[in-house]
Structure 1
Amino acid sequence: MKKDIEDIRNELIHLIGEKAERFGFSRIAGQLEGLLLFSKYPMSLDEMAQRLEVSKASVSTNIRILEQWKIVKKVYHKGERKNFYAIRGSIWEIETEIMSTVAKDEIDRVKRILSNSSNDLNRLQGGTEQESKEISFLNERFAEIDEYIESMEYLLNLFLKQGEISPAVVKKITIS
């Protein structure tokens, strides 16, 4: 059976929804991103809900999340009382913003846990020689993890330098 334009568009919307879900986000948020990404014109909440066959409340909740992540923006139509939404920027800008937000949140979370665990460990009194050795070993591991996280944070910031890194620049990077 030959696919039409809407079949292809639906497959892509579904794919982006699955991608979002695999990364721990709402499938509907991903589908909304895909819907707006492959739409020529801004859409209202009602239009998006009808198109995805989900409730308007679900669309409203997920569109607010996409606004917070700077993936979509409100677009005003003169004479309309409804809010309309469109994709904010290019694919590159959107996906690097998502990656930046997710990665930075995860880095911050790990740093907090590591700091709390390190503080807890340093409050312990190594009563025996074995406990002292164990505390020393764990402190060494914490230092290794901290160095790794610091390096990853540096690489992330380097990669995400706004306006300086583009697909063309990335394609010029050689890995030997």
Structure 2
Amino acid sequence: MVELETAERRFIESMGQYFERRGGTRISGRIYALLMIAGKPLSNKRIATLLNVSAASVSTNLRECADMGLVEPTSVPGDRQHYYVIHSEGWEGSLRAAEDGLKSFARILGAALEVPHLSGNQNLRDASDFCAFYLTELAGIAQRWRTAQAPRAPRPAKTSKTPKGRTA
């Protein structure tokens, strides 16, 4: 990937705006889009060059994308730079990150509902009930996705690093 074509830039910018509208950062969306279309691992430096942003911004936003389960670190034999690719678990990794966030939210609601004077609060109860329902539905979605993807060839293994960059 020497230079980005107009259509690629348009896609990258659209994804950046999408992430921003959803409460994320524009640069995270742009990084994610770039890695989606790159077809190969990209270094922090290469990402910064292609997107015309600072290396520090790329580093910060790559961590955010990794925490969301969107990207993961990888290595290129003989090269000591840090490289990133779309997470090997694909959309299921993103779904798992969303599920973890919802579980945390549900725990907070549950703790609030244990407080005697809050236990009858209908807003808290509705939110808690919705979380329970949604988590049940998410479990079904993940299983249906795995079943639908079974005929596809498995993706090649990347590295043995966790999303936070620690060796497993």
User: Would you call these one fold, judging by a TM-score over 0.5?
Assistant: yes
Distance 1:80 1:109 in 2: 41
Distance 1:9 1:141 in 2: 44
Distance 1:96 1:159 in 2: 10
Distance 1:77 1:10 in 2: 26
8 Å CA contact retained: 1:21, 1:30 = yes
8 Å CA contact retained: 2:69, 2:97 = no
Q: Does 1:115 align with 2:107?
A: no
Q: Does 1:161 align with 2:150?
A: no
Question: How far 1:155 sits from its partner (Å)?
Answer: 0.4
Corresponding letter in the other structure for 2:59: S
- State the partner residue of 1:88: 87
Q: Does 1:104 align with 2:100?
A: yes
**Greater relative CO (CA pairs within 8 A, separation 6+):** 2
8 Å CA contact retained: 1:159, 1:165 = no
Distance 1:22 1:165 in 2: 32
Q: Which has the larger radius of gyration?
A: 1
Q: Deviations over 1:133-166 (max 9, x none)?
A: xx78x35665554333211110011112386343
1:82 alignment partner, SS class: strand
8 Å CA contact retained: 2:48, 2:55 = yes
TM-score by length of 2: 0.71
Residues 165 and 26 (structure 1 numbering): CA distance in 2 closer, same or farther, change over 3 Å?
A: farther
TM-score by length of 1: 0.68
- Structure 1 gaps, min length 5: 125-134, 169-176
Residues 167 and 23 (structure 1 numbering): CA distance in 2 closer, same or farther, change over 3 Å?
A: farther
Q: Percent of aligned positions with the same letter in both sequences?
A: 24
Residues 148 and 163 (structure 1 numbering): CA distance in 2 closer, same or farther, change over 3 Å?
A: closer
Report the aligned-residue RMSD: 2.9
